[in-house]
A and B are shown apart, each in its own frame.
Chain A
Amino acid sequence: MSALIDAVSFPARAKRDQSGLNLKNGESPDFITCKACNRRALRTIWKDNYYVCPECGHYSSIGAIYRMSLIFDPGTFKELNKGMKAKDPMKFPEYEQKVAKQREKTGLEEAAVTAVGRIGGNKVVCVVLDSRFFMGSMSSTVGEKVTRAIEVATRKKLPLIIFSASGGARMQEGIFSLMQMAKTSAAIEEFNKSGGLYISYLTHPTTGGVTASFASLGDITLAEPGALVGFAGPRVIEQTIHKKLPAGFQRSEYLEAHGFVDKIVERKDMRETLIKLIELHKK
C-alpha cells in the first residue's frame, strides 16, 4: 500500500509534512521518537508501519491529508470547500492570532478536511478531523464544512466516512461552537433517512461536542486501537467523583467492551475494512 500512497496526488502543502508529524528542533529527520515508549526508530520504518510505533504499537496522530491518502484510490480525491477559513464570531481576544498559528503549523485552514474520492472504485464523501489543528475542536467553520460534506453525500447518494478527532468545543467561538452539534446531527439524521451508509471512525482523541453529535451517530462505528473516546474528559470526571478511573477507561477497547463500537480496526486494515463495508452495503 505504501507504493500506492506515494502515487497519490498530494496537494502541494502536504508534501512538506506528509505524515503530519512535525520535526522538533534538533531532531534528526531520519528518526522518529515514540511519544509513548520514548524509543527511536527509522522514519522509513514508521512510515511503512503507518506511523504506529514499531516498538510498542502506539498510534501516532496523523494529518488529515495524509490519512486521506491512505484510504483513497490514487489520484481520485478532490477536496471540498478547501479555502473555508475560521471565523471569529465573538471577536474573541487573540483568537485570530491563535488560528494563524495553527494554520502555519499544519498547512490547513481549519481542523476539518472534507473531500470526495474513490475507495476501491467506490465514490465516497470523507471527512477527517485533524487533531493537530486546535485539538480538532468544533468551530463554526468545522461544523459548516462537516455539514456541507454530509449534504453532498445526501444529495449525491454517496457513502459517508467521518474520521473524528476532537478535544471538544472551540472555546473562543462560544455558543456558536455549541450550536454546531445540533447542525451536524440534524444533517446526519437527514442523510440517515435518505438511506445512506455512514461509517464513523473514532480516532484519538474524540471527546466533548463531537462525541455528543455526529461521531456517535454512525451506522457502523469503528475505532483505532487505544483512542480516547468520551464525552467528559477523564480529568473532569476524576475531579467530580473523587476517584481514580480504572485503567483503560474511555479507550476504544473499553468502549467496545461496553457496547459502543462495532470493531477496533488497525490502521493497516483501515482501507480494506472500509472497502468491505461499502461493498456489503451496496444495494
Chain B
Amino acid sequence: MIKEILEEVEDLDTKIKTLERKAMKESSELTMAADTLEDSFDEINEEMETLDEYNSRLDRLKEMRRYALESAVHLAPDEKVFLARHMQRPHIDDFINGLFTDFFEQKGDHLYDEDLSIYGGIARFHGIPVTVLGHRKGHTMEDNMKYNFGMPCPEGYRKALRLMNAAEKFGRPIITFIDTPGAYPGLEAEEHGQGEAIAQNLAKMSQFHVPVIAVVTGEGSSGGALAIGVANRILMLENAVYSILSPEGFASILWKDAERHKEAAKLMKLTADDLYDAGVCDEVIGEPVGGAQRDYDEVMHNLDGVLYRHLKELMKLSPSGCKHDRQKKYRMIG
C-alpha cells in the first residue's frame, strides 16, 4: 500500500538527509585539515575512511529508496485517492506561488460573507493577466479547519462567480484549481441556497467568452467540484481523482457500508486515466513517483508547460468560438 511505502520512503529520506549532513561536515573538516595541516596523516586517513563509509551507506539508502518507490509506480485507485488527499500535496497557495506572478487576492462574495474555502484573484501567467481561483486546503490541521477543508458554502461559490464575472468583463482567461471533498453539507449552507449557488455557476460558466481551464489537482468531488469546473479544458494531475462523490459516500449509498470504499474506488472509474479514457479529462499531468508532495518543483514545471500550451491554443479562438467550444464539450457527454 502506498501509505506504507511512503512511510518507508519518508523514513529513508530522513536517514539520507541526516547522513548527508554528517558527510558534508566530515568532508569540510577534511578539507580544512588538509589546508591547515593540523591533523596527522593517520587522522586524515581515518577521517577519509569515515567519509567513504558514509558515502557507501548513502548509496545503499538511496538504492533502498529507489527500490521502495518503484513499487509506487502502478497504484490502485484507492491509493490514488490517498495521494489526492495527502495533506502535504501542493494546494492552491502553492500553485499560485509556483506558477503565477503579481497575484492580487480578491476576497468576499460582496453579498454576505467571505468564504475562506475558495481562494483567488488576479495574477499573471507567463505575463498574461488571468483570473485564478480554486478550492483551498491547508497543510496543517489548523489551516484546514480555517479553510473548512476546502468545502465551500454558497458564499464561496458566489465569490468564485464574482471573480469569474470580472474576468469575463475584462477579457481575462480563467484558470481554476479543483480540490474539494464536496460542497459543505451544513445547515446554513442549505439555508443560503447551496443548490442555487452551484446551479448559477454552472449556468454562467457555460456562457463565458474567455478561455476557462480547470485543473483537478487533488480530489474533485461532486457538484461542489464542478461548480468551478465548467471549462474548455479539464487537466488532471496524475494522482488526482474526479467523481460524483467520495468513494466512502458511494459505498455507503450503494451498499450501506462506507468501509467498502476501496472496492467503490475501483468501480467508480475516478482516476485521471479513467477520466481521460471517458473523454472528460483532456490531458493528464505527470507527478513525481510517490506523489506530487515529493517534489513541488517537478509538479510546477510539468503543469506550467501543459497549462501554457492549452491557454495559447484557446486564446486563438474568437470569443464566441471559445464559448461554443466549451458548450460543445458538455453537450457531447451522455
Residues of A within 8 A of B (CB): 87, 89-90, 92-93, 139-141, 143-144, 147, 169, 171, 173-183, 185-186, 188-190, 192-193, 208-209, 211-217, 229-233, 236-237, 240-241, 243, 245, 249-250, 258-260
Contacts and interface: CB of A to CB of B under 8 A. Distances in A.
A241 B187 contact: yes
A231 B223 contact: yes
Contact of B203 (A87, A92, A186): A186
A236 to B, nearest CB: 5
A223 B200 CA distance: 19
B250 to A, nearest CB: 6
A179 B330 contact: yes
B244 A171 contact: yes
Given A215-B199, A241-B187, A181 B226 contact: yes
B200 A140 contact: no
A62 B120 CA distance: 45
A140 B327 CA distance: 16
Looking at chain A's contact residues, the main secondary structure is helix
A232 B192 CA distance: 13
Nearest to A206: B195
B206 interface: yes
Contact of A186 (B184, B253, B280, B327): B327
Contacts of B193: 216, 258-260
B253 to A, nearest CB: 6
Contact of B186 (A92, A140, A185, A241): A241
Interface residues of B, number: 48
Contacts of A181: 198-199, 202, 223, 226
A1 B331 CA distance: 39
A179 B334 CA distance: 8
B178 to A, nearest CB: 12
Interface string B97-138: 000000000000000000000000000000000000000000
Interface stretch (B33-41, B48-56, B158-166, B268-276): B268-276
B187 A231 contact: no
16 contacts: A87-B334, A90-B269, A140-B333, A147-B331, A171-B254, A176-B334, A183-B333, A183-B334, A186-B203, A211-B195, A212-B195, A213-B202, A230-B195, A231-B198, A232-B190, A236-B185
Nearest to B281: A175
Contacts of B244: 169, 171, 174-175, 177-178
B306 interface: no
B187 A182 contact: no
B293 interface: no
B204 interface: yes
Contacts of A209: 223
